[in-house]
């Protein structure tokens, strides 16, 4: 079946450094790729998403890149801050199957 692999499972960075989280997907018909941030005691919250007709999208310190040929996409956070510390989930959705498949999450810790 369809799956999404996410790496790394944990990531520690110094405040001000960049953080990169990578995901690969198996369903070549996937066309929507959201990223969710989950803070302690809260549900996941969408921070950025990208559709298959673009290769890159940026929103302030957050950017997502998509390589459809290689079937992978990445989240880039620049100038990290302690409040960026959370668990980040990638996901992939396919119009064919109409399913949203999540990765296993990356715990990001930003040290001051």
Partner 1 sequence: ETGVTQTPRHLVMGMTNKKSLKCEQHLGHNAMYWYKQSAKKPLELMFVYNFKEQTENNSVPSRFSPECPNSSHLFLHLHTLQPEDSALYLCASSQEGTFANEQFFGPGTRLTVL
- Residue 11 binds partner 1, judged by CB under 8 A: no
Q: Which of 57, 62, 99, 109 contacts partner 1 by CB under 8 A? A: 99
- Residue 49 binds partner 1, judged by CB under 8 A: yes
Measured CA to CA, the distance from residue 18 to residue 81 in angstroms comes to: 10
Going across the sheet that includes 72-77, the strands are 4-7, 19-25, 72-77, 62-67, 56-59
Q: How far is the CB of 25 from partner 1 (least distance, A)?
A: 12
Which CB, 42 or 112, lies closer to partner 1?
Answer: 42
Parallel, antiparallel or unpaired: strands 10-14 and 106-111: parallel
Q: How far is the CB of 79 from partner 1 (least distance, A)?
A: 25
Location of structure tokens 């998403």: 49
Location of structure tokens 């956070």: 77
Torsion of CA 37, 20, 85, 87, to 10 degrees: 40
Which CB, 92 or 110, lies closer to partner 1?
Answer: 92
Q: Binding segment for partner 1 among 16-24, 29-37, 64-72, 78-86 (CB under 8 A)?
A: 29-37
Q: Residues in the site for partner 1, rule: CB under 8 A? A: 4, 9, 31-32, 34, 36, 41-46, 49, 51, 89, 93, 95, 98-105
């Amino acid at each position: 079946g369809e799956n999404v692999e996410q790496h790394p499972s944990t990531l520690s960075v110094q405040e001000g450094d960049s953080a990169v989280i990578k995901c690969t997907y198996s369903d070549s018909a996937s066309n929507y790729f959201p990223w969710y941030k989950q803070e302690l005691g809260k549900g996941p919250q969408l921070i950025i998403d990208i559709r298959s007709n673009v290769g890159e999208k940026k929103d302030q310190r957050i950017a997502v890149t998509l390589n459809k040929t290689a079937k992978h996409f990445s989240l880039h956070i620049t100038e990290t801050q302690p409040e960026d510390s959370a668990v980040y989930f990638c996901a992939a959705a396919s119009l064919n199957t109409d399913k949203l498949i999540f990765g296993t999450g990356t715990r990001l810790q930003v040290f001051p």
